[in-house]
Structure 1
Amino acid sequence: MSEEKMMNILTEDGVTIFAFSAISISNSSGIELVAAEVRQYLESTRPERVIVDFDGVKFFSSLLLGLLVEIWKKMKAYDGTMVISGINPRLNRVFRITNLDKIFEFHPDRQTALKALTES
């Protein structure tokens, strides 16, 4: 029995999209696999603009917050831009409680995020 892929990497209009597809992202081994894939992708391609899309995600563990901070730091290191899209109100609360809402830029959906990154 194969596990559903937790995240897909897409490119649209020159913007890299890390699109999470699982409703719940809490499996630590799955998150580590995603983290390894993201690290490898960032190192090999050094994208200028990244959207991390959580459309449809209802829950994620704190391990994923660490990955988001890691992506943000890598992007900042080479003057790239990272935004987050598709966060529901419950997950948004997690970002507020941890004060991560002060470092990340949020957009309601992928299309709005894409428009913001391609028009800037």
Structure 2
Amino acid sequence: MTKTIMKTNPRYSALISILKETSRANDANVWREIAKRLESPSNNYAEVNISKINRYAQDGDTVLVPGKVLGSGVLSQKVSVAAIKFSGVAEEKIIGADGVCMTIEELVRQNPEGKKVRILR
């Protein structure tokens, strides 16, 4: 007997559905990969510090975090960051570096093909 696990947060269920639809419509495997990661239990979601974003992203990059962005570290580059959640400090640091904080839903609407998106875990 297999047990089907459903997300109890309606936002996550809707996001996974949007990601899968966009992936099919635009042949963008990046969105299917993110949907697969978000289908796992939420305690497996990524938690990425600002310092890691600063280390791996270049100026002007779009970074996707399938989880939460935390505020530890310094951000010295202008980056667009999409995530499920941001800590208050992380949001301040990204905006302070002339970057952009957005939800994953907003990123999918802006970039349905998933081009030039860097995934951090």
Alignment TM class, shorter chain as reference: 0.3 to 0.5
Q: Which structure's CA Rg is the greater one?
A: 2
Q: What's the TM-score once normalised by structure 1's chain length?
A: 0.36
Q: What's the TM-score once normalised by structure 2's chain length?
A: 0.36
